[in-house]
Amino acid sequence: MSLLHRDTRRDALEQLSCFRGEFYSCLTARSDALSELADAVLCGDGRVRSLPELSLVGEHRRGHGGLYSAVARGRVDADRLRRVLASVPLPRAVDGRLVLAVDITCWLRPNAHTSPQRILCHTYGRGKDQHIPVPGWPYSIICALEPGRSSWTAPPDALRLAPGDDSATITARQLRELLETLIRAGQWQEGDPNILIIADAGYDAPRLAFLLGDLPVQVPARMRSERVLRRPVPPLQPHTQGRPPRHGSEFVFGQPDTWGTPDTETVTGTRLYGTAGARSWNRLHPSSRAALPGQSPTAPSPSSRGRRSAWTSTTCPAEQHRSRSGCGGRAPTPLRRTPTPTDSGRHTCDASTSNTPSGCSNRPSAGPPRRSAHPRPPTAGPG
């Protein structure tokens, strides 16, 4: 109803007809039953609460037995379906470039005890300070955004994360496969502007940019407000003794006195929100080197500066416990502890579950408190 011209409507219906034909060709087993099942899901009123209700939709011309047979024995060629979705015209920004947004959406399944590969997923909006981990399936979804205030998106790819998967590595691999498919389909050609990959604060933007550095993409992403970045290493002065620094001065998000003079600053007047200002600083990088492959572990924190061997990384069976319990698709974080005078030069690690952070937390746990007769029970886990 929103199309104004008859020619535009005929072109849209032609594209839809071509897509339906390609989608039907991706169904390799029980194709007729699966096609009618897809029509019933799209044309049904409200949520799908049970499969027999779908057999009552007018677009489904079979009985409920054929519906169950399509679900149990139907097959879909997922690779061919991805190529079909990549060939569909995608929405573009004002300057004609593709804008892809990536995010992880969890399908909560707390009562599906027999369903495999469930992971404890963080939930929000369930009350004040109540972020309860609920078992479910996390899906990494990539959507093509369009300009304006429309809430419609085109999801060209979706992938379910398995327990123990590293979300950054899986997302980078998923983006690489999708971008290569889009380039082969002609969605991007030589001379076109780079494709924007928009990510939320839960992703490591420097790592994504590093893993996708050979593709025509730019990765703008949000960053957490407590992040600390570093400037480039200053030039080494003559007659300087000691070990050269590995990083420059700090850039702390929460301390404006560490920002310095921005490299770029713009001020724009808006119609609804007054004056909008933007500032940028170039050549900032995170001090952690664990995000890039083939490099050393995480550097000591700024608070431990001046203390040699203040933080040590160890591996122990507690990390295996974390990988079994599931941490939202992220790799286990190495346990860190501070040596004390009673350690006598030995760095050990308690293998009890009290050293395991609860749920899908990313913070290292300090273990049971000192002078504690019994370790505290874990706050979350497979039990």
Do 153 and 190 have their domain in common? yes
Q: Are strands 195-198 and 99-108 parallel, antiparallel or unpaired?
A: parallel
**Distances in whole angstroms, Cα of residue 144 to Cα of each of 93, 98, 180, 345:** 10, 7, 15, 55
Give the closest residue to 110 by CA, choosing from 130, 131, 132.
132
pLDDT at res. 69: 87
Is 276 exposed, middle or buried, given 0-12, 13-18 or 19+ CB atoms closer than 10 A?
exposed
Q: Is the pTM of this model over 0.95?
A: no
pLDDT at 343 > cutoff 90: no
AA identity, residue 337: R
- List, for residues 110-135, the tens digit of each pLDDT value: 888 888 889 888 877 666 666 788 89
- Domains: count for the chain: 3
Q: Which residue has better confidence, 149 or 336?
A: 149
Do 190 and 260 have their domain in common? no
- List, for residues 257-305, the tens digit of each pLDDT value: 999 999 999 999 988 889 999 999 998 888 754 444 444 333 333 333 3
pLDDT at res. 244: 83
Instruction: Please say which residue of 79, 100, 130 terminates a domain.
Output: 79
pLDDT at res. 382: 54
C-beta atoms surrounding 102 within 10 Å: 22
Asked if residue 99 is part of any domain, the answer here is yes
Asked if residue 35 is part of any domain, the answer here is yes
* Token output for 166: 């590293």
Asked if residue 153 is part of any domain, the answer here is yes
CA–CA separation, 378 and 383 (whole Å): 10
pLDDT at res. 375: 52
pLDDT at 29 > cutoff 70: yes
Strand order in the sheet with 250-252: 250-252, 228-230, 285-286
* Token output for 255: 């301390």
CA–CA separation, 331 and 323 (whole Å): 7
CA–CA separation, 380 and 316 (whole Å): 19
Q: Which residue has better confidence, 361 or 161?
A: 161
pLDDT at 308 > cutoff 50: no
CA–CA separation, 100 and 24 (whole Å): 26
Domain that holds residue 40: 6-79
Written in H, E and C, the secondary structure of the chain is: CCCCCHHHHHHHHHHHHHHHHHHHHCEEECHHHHHHHHHHHHHCCCCCCCHHHHCCCCCCCCCHHHHHHHHHHCEECHHHHHHHHHHCCCCCCCCCCCEEEEEEEEEECCCCCCCCCCEEECCCCCCCCCCCCEEEEEEEEEEECCCCCCCCCEEEEEEECCCCCCHHHHHHHHHHHHHHHHHHCCCCCCCCCCEEEEECCCCCHHHHHHHCCCCCEECCECCCCCCEEECCCCCCCCCCCCCCCCCCCEEECCCHHHCCCCCEEEEEEECCCEEEEEEECCCCEECCCCCCCCCCCCCCCHHHCCCCCCCEEECCHHHHHHHHHCCCCCCCCCEEECCCHHHCCCCCCCCCHHHCCCCCCCCCCCCCCCCCCCCCCCCCCCC
* Reported confidence tier of residue 227, pLDDT bands at 50, 70, 90: confident
Q: Which residue has better confidence, 255 or 318?
A: 255
Asked if residue 371 is part of any domain, the answer here is no
Do 31 and 135 have their domain in common? no
pLDDT at 360 > cutoff 70: no
Do 58 and 101 have their domain in common? no
Asked if residue 56 is part of any domain, the answer here is yes
Instruction: Please say which residue of 54, 79, 104 terminates a domain.
Output: 79
pLDDT at 311 > cutoff 80: no
* Reported confidence tier of residue 383, pLDDT bands at 50, 70, 90: very low
* Token output for 147: 């300009």
Q: Mean pLDDT score of the chain, rounded to an integer?
A: 75
**Bridge partner residues of 105 (DSSP):** 139
Quick one: CA torsion of 365, 370, 373, 377, rounded to 10 degrees? -20
Asked if residue 309 is part of any domain, the answer here is no
* Reported confidence tier of residue 159, pLDDT bands at 50, 70, 90: very high
Asked if residue 337 is part of any domain, the answer here is no
Do 53 and 157 have their domain in common? no
Do 64 and 104 have their domain in common? no
- List, for residues 58-75, the tens digit of each pLDDT value: 888 888 788 888 889 999
pLDDT at res. 364: 39
pLDDT at res. 237: 80
pLDDT at 7 > cutoff 50: no
Q: Are strands 335-337 and 217-218 parallel, antiparallel or unpaired?
A: unpaired
CA–CA separation, 9 and 15 (whole Å): 10
For the ranges 3-12, 170-179, 200-209, 272-281, the lowest mean pLDDT is seen at 3-12
**Bridge partner residues of 218 (DSSP):** 196
Q: pLDDT > 90: what percent of the chain?
A: 25
Do 214 and 251 have their domain in common? no
Do 69 and 145 have their domain in common? no
The CATH code of the domain that includes 151 is 3.30.420
Q: Which residue has better confidence, 8 or 264?
A: 264
Do 20 and 47 have their domain in common? yes
